[in-house]
Every structure is written in C-alpha cells, then in structure tokens.
Amino acid sequence: MQVSVSNGLGQLELAGEPATSYPLLTAPDRDLLQRTVVASTLVGSALIHGSVAGEHFGEWLLAGMFFVAVQLVELLLALAAVFAWDRPVARLVVLTGLGTVLVWLVSRTVGMPIGPADFRVPEPVGMTDVLCSLLELASVVAALPAARLRTTEPRGSVRPGGRSGPGGRAAAAVAAAAALSLTGAAVVPVVFNAPAHHAQSAVR
C-alpha cells in the first residue's frame, strides 16, 4: 500500500489497482455549504429589509408593504433551504434574488416608474443597500447549481446521499460567519443612524 499526494488531493494506491482520489469537499459537503450560504444570506438580507421597512411605510404605504413581503419571502426560502431543499426552491431563490436586485438597480439608476415623486428619481447608493444586494447575489450564486441540476428524484430533490465531513462543516461555518458579518455591517448603521446609512432610503 502506498499513499501519495497529487494536485492537492490525497490518493490511496493499492498494488495493481488504480489510485482513488478523495476530494477536499464531497457531494454532501458541497450540499451543506450551498444550503448554508443560501440560508444565511437570505436571513441577512431579510434582516436588512426589516430594519428599513418602518421608514418606507412612512414614505409610501406600498413601499413598506413591499419590504415586508420581501422579508417574509426571504425568511421562508431560508427555512426551505434548511428543511426542504429541492430544485423548485433553488429556482425560487434565484428568481427572487435577481428580482430584488433588479428593483434596486432601477431605483438607483432611473428611479421607480410608480410611486410618489421622490421614488421616481434615482436615489443615492448607500453602503447598506450595496451589502444587501451582495447578500442576495450570493444566495443566487449558491442556489444556481441546484436550480440547474436535472433530477428524477421525487419533487426534484437535489440532496445527495451521505453525511458531510469536517471540511464541509468548517466551510459552512465560515460562510455563515461571513454572511453574519455583512449583515451586521449593513444593519448597525441603520439602527444607530450612522453616516453610512443614507437618510432617505437605505435599501431600495
């Protein structure tokens, strides 16, 4: 028996048999990492939307309702990523994430086509709304592999068999911590009304 290392992957070689490679992240590891990124970034963006919903209710009732609706959808999708992850859920994550980012881009470039006069002109870009959009885009990127995967499993399941290992759990923990850090950087200025939070509209 001979053990060698090649291209960063451990290989176990038996006499007369081909080498077997062991990837750093197995399929269950990647599944855990993807679902963790989706869930943590969606929770983060939901918290950001919730933190500014009140001021948007004060500006326009429908704007406040939109923020609350987005927050609820993101929280539900985050729960689904943990407990009911399948291809339809992944596709919803991609669609809603791209949709909210598109709304943000419109509001920051040409202004919204509906609403009070203040909504119809481009709004300044703030750190809070940029971080929120980054979280939403991260959820889209993490969900794309599952959204595109063809499967014959019931209900479009994309979960692989087996359990994740230490590498997968460590990667998931780092991803969750990064999402939490971005969320904190976005929400704290809103809560304490710091300069990073622009006074009129923080996210959309």
Residue 114 lies in a domain: yes
Task: State the Cα–Cα distance between residues 177 and 9, nearest whole angstrom.
Answer: 27
Residue 20 lies in a domain: no
Prediction pTM value: 0.79
Residue 203 lies in a domain: no
Number of domains within the chain: 1
Residue 144 lies in a domain: yes
Residue 186 lies in a domain: yes
Structural domain span for residue 51 = 25-192
Residue 199 lies in a domain: no
What is the CB neighbour count within 10 angstroms for residue 58? 10
Residue 198 lies in a domain: no
Residue 19 lies in a domain: no
The four Cα atoms 65, 67, 70, 71 give a dihedral, to 10 degrees, of -110
Query: What tens-digit pLDDT sequence spans the chain (204 residues)?
Result: 444 444 444 444 444 545 455 567 888 899 999 999 999 999 999 999 999 998 889 889 999 999 999 999 999 999 999 999 999 999 999 999 999 999 999 999 999 999 898 889 999 999 999 999 999 999 999 999 999 876 545 555 566 666 778 888 999 999 999 999 999 999 998 888 754 444 344 444
